[in-house]
Chain A
């Protein structure tokens, strides 16, 4: 497996080609797909997150790391499914109604995916009904709401209310984030968690689900 440490480095440096090659070789050599995820991919994305929070990495570095991670994960995921390996959590994520800004949402989704979560990406301009539907139909246990605009941020409150009205509030932890969103606002609207950055969102989701960090 020594060559596989290259997977960690490839993700950290955002080298998609190398990440895919190393993963292919490892899988052909009989590597355990879950071990690849747990030993190399999740720790690599955790390190990406650490560097992002330490202002060593910025959005471009985060994006290329996520791209490399996704390339490797694409090869591994069917095997995990075949082995019935459960994700650490299942997350429905979307930018709220009226808001089409998705880079923050995509970064959070990528970091969560890199942290072992399964992502149900609802996209942008997502209505309350779609979030409720995702909870009911996709068995998600985390909902992430994103907003860039002060004008769309209040829509988060309506979505939480719709989830309550649908009787689904107890099934999920709700995380909110986006430029104008604060911890105070998250508390005010009854969200369970908040983060002002993509890496922090993973830590927050793990905390809420009682998952130990790697």
Chain B
């Protein structure tokens, strides 16, 4: 008898062999809308069912406050955005960084930070109660340095790590407090039902780490560990994301943060070669992603995509543990035929 999607994912976390390789779906809104339209699927879940995708359900709490109390036209973080058209779609880019000009720690503390209380926890409670358990349930999100860069500007954020460590500590503490309190509320509400929480930080660039291991250990990992410990105290697994060439930090992520998955496995980046990852970390983490989104999916043929999925199966499938997914969000530039090749191949060949 075949497993449910949830059973398939959890088998891997429990180091048991699932009936087939679990799958996941990450895509921009444009891609999802296109696929739904082309495949005649009214909802995302319909689309996932059609393509046999085991995508987790996500429950969070909607904000009851959506605007910053002081900064006009800004969201709760004081951010303003503007749409950028790249021809085949749009994305929202930051247009205002509320912390950019601050030079003193006191200014950081005086900023009106959002409150985790401003959320509709009742709606979340109902969603938890109604969740049918067919799909894994993901709840909680923590990626503070990404938010930091958005609020302060990426270059100044990087400079802070070297030149303004007190400011870095202050901003990171505010972000941690917010997410810790919010996640704690959600974890309590969904106690016994939540399977995974998403912990992330983009530590890798295209060729190497973005920041030194010393800086990662100093600024990123301690709070990440606290957040992961909170989730673990509720029996929730740690689903981890870092882009890029992150090989040098994986041992720390395993030992300190206690990651259980690693997403998205950009295997074309130096140090991220698949065989080496399996050799060195295959007994410790689940590999999530690994279908290349920079070359194969956008610029390859369906046959290239199929071959890549087969290669991944050979390298990552049991006794290593793999959840098949694109490396990060599918982009509109990737043809539908390539996306279908991904999911058709894993459905046809992914039985274990």
A residues whose Cβ falls under 8 Å from a Cβ of B: 14, 55, 58-61, 63-64, 67, 97-100, 103, 106, 125, 149-152, 154-155, 179-180, 182, 196-197
Residue of B nearest to A61 (CB): B162
B266 to A: closest C-beta gap in Å: 9
Chain A residues within an 8 Å CB radius of B162: 14, 60-61, 64
B side interface size, CB within 8 A: 32
- Name the interface residues of B200-222: CB closer than 8 Å to any CB of A: 205-212, 215
B92 to A: closest C-beta gap in Å: 10
Residue of A nearest to B88 (CB): A151
Report which of B85, B207, B210, B215 forms a contact with A98, defined as CB distance below 8 A. B85
Chain B residues within an 8 Å CB radius of A152: 86
| 14 other A-B residue contacts (CB within 8 Å) besides A59-B205, A154-B333, A179-B294 | A14-B163, A55-B209, A58-B211, A60-B158, A60-B161, A60-B212, A64-B162, A67-B159, A99-B86, A100-B84, A103-B155, A125-B84, A150-B333, A151-B87
Chain A residues within an 8 Å CB radius of B350: none
The reply to whether B84 and A98 contact each other, CB–CB distance below 8 Å, is yes
Interface centre among B154, B155, B212 (most CB of A within 10 A): B155
> At the interface, yes or no: B332 with Cβ under 8 Å from chain A?
yes
B86 to A: closest C-beta gap in Å: 3
The proximity string for B residues 302-332 relative to A, scoring 1 for CB distances below 8 Å and 0 otherwise, is 0000000000000000000000000000011
Q: Please report the C-alpha to C-alpha distance between residue A64 and residue B331 in the assembled complex, in whole angstroms.
A: 34
Residue of A nearest to B214 (CB): A58
Chain B residues within an 8 Å CB radius of A179: 205-206, 294
Known A98-B87, A180-B295; contact A149-B159, beta-carbon cutoff 8 A:
no
A134 to B: closest C-beta gap in Å: 21
The reply to whether B86 and A58 contact each other, CB–CB distance below 8 Å, is no
> At the interface, yes or no: B89 with Cβ under 8 Å from chain A?
yes
24 contacts between A and B (CB under 8 A): A14-B162, A14-B163, A58-B208, A58-B209, A58-B211, A58-B212, A58-B215, A59-B205, A59-B211, A60-B159, A60-B211, A64-B159, A67-B159, A98-B85, A98-B86, A103-B155, A149-B331, A150-B293, A150-B294, A150-B331, A179-B205, A179-B206, A180-B295, A180-B298
Chain B residues within an 8 Å CB radius of A154: 333
Interface centre among B86, B154, B212 (most CB of A within 10 A): B86
The reply to whether B84 and A60 contact each other, CB–CB distance below 8 Å, is no
> At the interface, yes or no: B93 with Cβ under 8 Å from chain A?
yes
Chain A residues within an 8 Å CB radius of B205: 59, 179
B219 to A: closest C-beta gap in Å: 10
B residues whose Cβ falls under 8 Å from a Cβ of A: 84-89, 93, 154-155, 158-159, 161-163, 205-212, 215, 248, 293-295, 298-299, 331-333
The reply to whether B333 and A100 contact each other, CB–CB distance below 8 Å, is no
The reply to whether A55 and B88 contact each other, CB–CB distance below 8 Å, is no
Chain A residues within an 8 Å CB radius of B332: 151
Chain A residues within an 8 Å CB radius of B210: 58-59
The reply to whether A103 and B154 contact each other, CB–CB distance below 8 Å, is yes
B312 to A: closest C-beta gap in Å: 19
Chain A residues within an 8 Å CB radius of B211: 58-60
Known A60-B215, A106-B155; contact A197-B207, beta-carbon cutoff 8 A:
yes
Residue of A nearest to B161 (CB): A60
The reply to whether A63 and B155 contact each other, CB–CB distance below 8 Å, is yes
Q: Please report the C-alpha to C-alpha distance between residue A152 and residue B86 in the assembled complex, in whole angstroms.
A: 6
Chain B residues within an 8 Å CB radius of A98: 84-87
The reply to whether A151 and B155 contact each other, CB–CB distance below 8 Å, is no
Residue of B nearest to A197 (CB): B207
Chain B residues within an 8 Å CB radius of A64: 159, 162-163
The reply to whether A180 and B159 contact each other, CB–CB distance below 8 Å, is no
Going nearest first, the 4 A-B pairs with the smallest beta carbon separation are: A98-B86, A180-B294, A60-B158, A100-B93
A190 to B: closest C-beta gap in Å: 17
Residue of B nearest to A65 (CB): B162
B321 to A: closest C-beta gap in Å: 28
Chain B residues within an 8 Å CB radius of A149: 86, 331
Residue of B nearest to A54 (CB): B208
Known A58-B208, A64-B162, A180-B294; contact A151-B85, beta-carbon cutoff 8 A:
no
Q: Please report the C-alpha to C-alpha distance between residue A63 and residue B248 in the assembled complex, in whole angstroms.
A: 21
B293 to A: closest C-beta gap in Å: 7
Q: Please report the C-alpha to C-alpha distance between residue A123 and residue B298 in the assembled complex, in whole angstroms.
A: 26
Chain B residues within an 8 Å CB radius of A125: 84
Chain B residues within an 8 Å CB radius of A103: 154-155, 158
